[in-house]
Amino acid sequence: MGSTDHFIIVAGIDFSEGADCALDRALVEAARRGGSEVHVVYVERDSRPGSARARREMGADATVDRVQQRICQRMHRMPADLDKQRILRVVAHYRHGSPAEGIAQLAADLGAELIVVGFHDRGGLVAEGVVRLASCRVMVAHDDASVTGDQPWIKVPCAEHPLREHHHQCASNGVYAAEMTVYGPD
């Protein structure tokens, strides 16, 4: 279990339908389990050569706002039989770099017990990378199935390797990170 007394779930999103399925599944798991935190992260690919840090910082604020809006939309669509009050808090995160590494690293930083990602992008490359890098269980949600369906996801057991060293410790190493609590105590 993580460093806290409650269950921590990390959901990786990219604003696609598959990511919505992953976010829905993470919220449902948190509500069913109770006493859980959901950390929703968008990782911007480092695709612009020589991109300036100031541009990333400006984009981070706008992206965290966009993640916040998506979380609110998906929380409003949760099935009525689930009690949202059982979720301790939901936090929006932004990272810059490799999506698979950013998601797995945030989970390691937080001591997460579960990562939920969608299987939709580029043949599942990000999902495959997260499964390979993660130090906890990974749930891969499919965008072609309903959250309430029998098997819209695949559970992947924890990889049999030790926790990776934390290599994204602060923005000074070239990785810009931002976060905002969307739901729960301030």
Write the pLDDT tens digit of every residue in 24-74: 999 999 999 989 999 999 998 876 555 555 555 567 888 889 999 999 999
pTM above 0.75, yes or no: yes
Q: What is the DSSP letter of 15?
A: S
Strands 137-142 and 7-13: unpaired
Half-sphere exposure of 38 (CA within 13 A, CB side): 33
Percent of the chain whose predicted confidence (pLDDT) is above 70 = 67
Q: Secondary structure of 141-179 in the HEC alphabet?
A: EECCCCCCCCCCEEEECCCCCCCCCCCCCCHHHCCCCEE
Question: What pLDDT was estimated at residue 170?
Answer: 32
Question: What pLDDT was estimated at residue 41?
Answer: 96
Q: Which residue has the tokens 């490359």?
A: 125
Angle at 161 between CA 115 and CA 126, to 5 degrees: 40
Helix %, strand %, coil % of the chain (to 5): 40, 25, 35
Nearest to 94 by CA among 8, 1, 6, 13: 13
Angle at 120 between CA 32 and CA 182, to 5 degrees: 45
What mean pLDDT comes out for the span 149-174?
37
Question: What pLDDT was estimated at residue 40?
Answer: 96
Q: Does the pLDDT value for residue 89 go beyond 90?
A: yes
Instruction: Give the chain's length.
Output: 186
Question: What pLDDT was estimated at residue 144?
Answer: 54
Q: Per residue in 150-159, pLDDT tens?
A: 444 444 444 3
172 or 135: which leads in pLDDT: 135
Question: What pLDDT was estimated at residue 100?
Answer: 94
143 or 127: which leads in pLDDT: 127
Write down all domains in the chain, each with its CATH number in brackets. Answer: 7-183 (3.40.50.12370)
